[in-house]
Amino acid sequence: MTTGSSGPGTGTAADDGDARAPGRTLRGSAILTGAHLVARLPEAPLVAAAESIGELWYRAQPARAAQARANLGRVCEGLAAQGRGATQVRRAATDPDALERIVRAAFRHAARYYLEVARADRYEFDAILARIDVETPGEVEAALRSGRPVILIGMHYGAIEVPVIVAREMVGHQVTAPMETVGDPGLQRWFRESRSRVGVNVVPIADARRELTAALRRGESVGMVADRDLTGGGIMVPFFGHPAPIPAGPALLSIETGAPIYVGWARRTKGYRYRGGLALVPAPQPGRLRARVTEITTSIVREFETLLADGPEQWWGAFHPIWPDLAVGAKPTSPAPAGADDAATADPAPGTPA
């Protein structure tokens, strides 16, 4: 099972070294204390503060900015070639200054993600629903009111923590999602507790495939984030015209259990509002397992491309290697072919998309 990111700036215990290091423990404790505080403060000044922090983060992390610049540059080039995206996005395909504005905005949105994590348990269903403009009401009703289990797939994009509240309320039960173990035990506890409070049944990576399959067979939905392959278990599919390793887990889970896959999103708009929806991923044609997994995964990536056309700056997954040829300061991993014995690989969700 692929390990994944709990946020734009966290890593696994293997990445960070000894999880018991005093600095990490202090950082986790500070985050826990800060989270309790910001959950009780007015939203508007907190958003302004988060965006200011994002600007400082942009200046303090040149390597992270370089990775985002490479990835978002490819996204903008791909969107321009497809004739999609806003004018400023298409301009960024050839204008370095326009691209840099998108990169800077990505840091601000990433900082707002952490703010939403801290405040998620303060949101009530009705209040959140009133702030979401649903773009695909028919698909949302079909997926979340049908009484059948579904596989909800998202990207490291926009507001992930907030829409899980909607999903939880509409399906009537917790949504199961895997989560990595991060290097700081305090930070790990914060993520786990915050996600549990908003309706995510967090399961450890080691048991993820079994737990996700069992949840689906019980009639419960599951959620994963599947825009990054971290352990080389993904399969190569075209992503804006270039091969990228994408986790095969959603496709394998769907084939094994018969549960449909929906790609979900919630992007931020003006006035502290969101636009969200779900898109059904077509069932594959009959054939060999590898061909079906590849077809489903390719369809998921096409939905990701459509999502990125409406706000590439909200893709905080861009801070990490996506395409092997664009990896900054890291050796790309070699993806393994999907097969009947593959683990249900997908990036553990920082929250469940809806």
| For the chain, domain boundaries | 21-326
Q: What is the phi/psi pair of residue 165, to 5°?
A: -65, -40
Whole-model pTM? 0.84
Sequence-distant (≥ 6) Cβ neighbours of residue 295 within 8 angstroms: 284, 285, 287
Sign of CA dihedral 271, 194, 185, 152: negative
Higher pLDDT, 12 or 210: 210
Mean predicted confidence (pLDDT) in 319-334: 80
Mean predicted confidence (pLDDT) in 55-82: 97
**pLDDT for res 220:** 93
Say yes or no to pLDDT of 1 above 50: no
For tokens 């997908």, the residue is 346
Least confident of 41-45, 136-140, 146-150: 41-45
Pairing status of strand 273-280 against strand 261-269: antiparallel
**pLDDT for res 29:** 65
**pLDDT for res 32:** 64
Say yes or no to pLDDT of 96 above 50: yes
The vertex-205 CA angle with 258 and 338, nearest 5°, equals 50
DSSP string, 196-262: HHTTEEEEEGGGHHHHHHHHHHTT--EEEE-S--SSS--EEEEETTEEEEE--HHHHHHHHH---EE
How far is the C-alpha of 346 from the C-alpha of 71, rounded, in Å?
20
Mean predicted confidence (pLDDT) in 50-67: 97
Least confident of 26-35, 100-109, 153-162, 306-315: 26-35
How far is the C-alpha of 327 from the C-alpha of 324, rounded, in Å?
5
How far is the C-alpha of 64 from the C-alpha of 329, rounded, in Å?
10
Q: Which among 224, 90, 63 has a CA at the least distance from the CA of 154?
A: 224
**pLDDT for res 283:** 95
On average, the pLDDT of the chain sits at 83
